[in-house]
């Protein structure tokens, strides 16, 4: 049984977000508030979660619209105080066109900002005994600028650094913060990949790892360990060596 009674998840219509919603519903969460861009897929996730007995609020939402996101989060909190907020929504860049690059940063960075800021304000006003936990989804790709996906890796590096900083900055308010850096996990993003995906993982396995480590208040949740070790080593190498290695990565086609 999870200690979190009301969990909010953005990007819950597929991938890790969907798997997290199902995980917490099965774990006995009293209420789930989930959002996504695709109404049909989101309703399917909500219906599956309700079978476990959870109350589910499913909202089709553009995560880049700060006013809409703030209004939704506040409304969810009024129904039952939030304990756990996942800023999880994200997109792949695909072709590095100006339009796609802007969309990547608007969703992966400002979509996270739009979720986290109102959640922080609510948590600061909440009673000290209330459980308050923020989870920001970054990526293994955020450890180093990737020539195969420069905009995506840059956006994930941004929220990784923000999450790590917020963990210490918000500790004084009794707010826990975890940053998640998964490797290749089955999702609508990885479904479009044509490059090799070592240590590929199913979404339900990733959700279980994330949930178990959030329960333990782990600050940086990076997995699988083989990928974490590889990208960490790449991030500390001199540029001449890291450039040599990363320039030989296979590109998406």
| 3-class DSSP assignment, residue 14 | coil
Q: Tell me how far CA of residue 186 lies from CA of 79, 161, 247, in angstroms.
A: 32, 24, 25
3-state helix, strand, coil in the chain (%, to 5): 50, 15, 35
- The closest of 184, 186, 188, 190 to 202, measured between CA atoms, is 186
Q: CA-CA distance, 95 to 38, in Å (whole number)?
A: 22
Whether the Cβ atoms of residue 250 and residue 196 lie closer than 8 Å to each other: yes
Q: CA-CA distance, 222 to 153, in Å (whole number)?
A: 15
| 3-class DSSP assignment, residue 183 | coil
Q: Tell me how far CA of residue 50 lies from CA of 17, 19, 28, 47, 89, in angstroms.
A: 16, 14, 11, 5, 21
Catalytic residues: 152
């Amino acid at each position: 049984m999870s200690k979190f009674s009301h969990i909010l998840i953005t990007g819950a219509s597929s991938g890790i977000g969907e798997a997290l919603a199902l995980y917490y519903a099965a774990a006995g969460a009293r209420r789930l508030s989930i959002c996504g861009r695709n109404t049909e897929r989101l309703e399917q996730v909500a219906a599956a979660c309700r079978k476990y007995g959870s109350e589910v609020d499913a909202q089709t939402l553009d995560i880049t619209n700060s006013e809409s996101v703030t209004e939704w989060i506040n409304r969810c909190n009024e129904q039952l105080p939030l304990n756990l907020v996942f800023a999880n929504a994200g997109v792949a860049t695909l072709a590095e066109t100006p339009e796609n690059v802007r969309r990547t940063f608007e969703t992966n960075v400002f979509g996270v900002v739009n979720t986290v800021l109102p959640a922080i304000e609510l948590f600061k006003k909440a009673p000290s005994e209330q459980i308050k936990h923020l989870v920001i989804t970054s990526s293994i790709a955020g450890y180093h600028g990737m020539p195969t996906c420069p905009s995506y890796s840059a956006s994930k590096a941004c929220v990784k650094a923000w999450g790590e900083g917020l963990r210490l900055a918000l500790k004084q308010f009794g707010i826990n913060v975890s940053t998640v850096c998964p490797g290749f996990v089955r999702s609508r993003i990885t479904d479009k990949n044509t490059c090799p995906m070592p240590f590929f993982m199913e979404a339900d396995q990733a959700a279980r790892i994330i949930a178990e480590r959030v329960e333990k208040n782990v600050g940086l949740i990076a997995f699988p360990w083989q990928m974490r070790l590889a990208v960490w080593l790449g991030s500390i190498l001199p540029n001449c060596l890291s450039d040599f290695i990363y320039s030989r990565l296979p590109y998406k086609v």
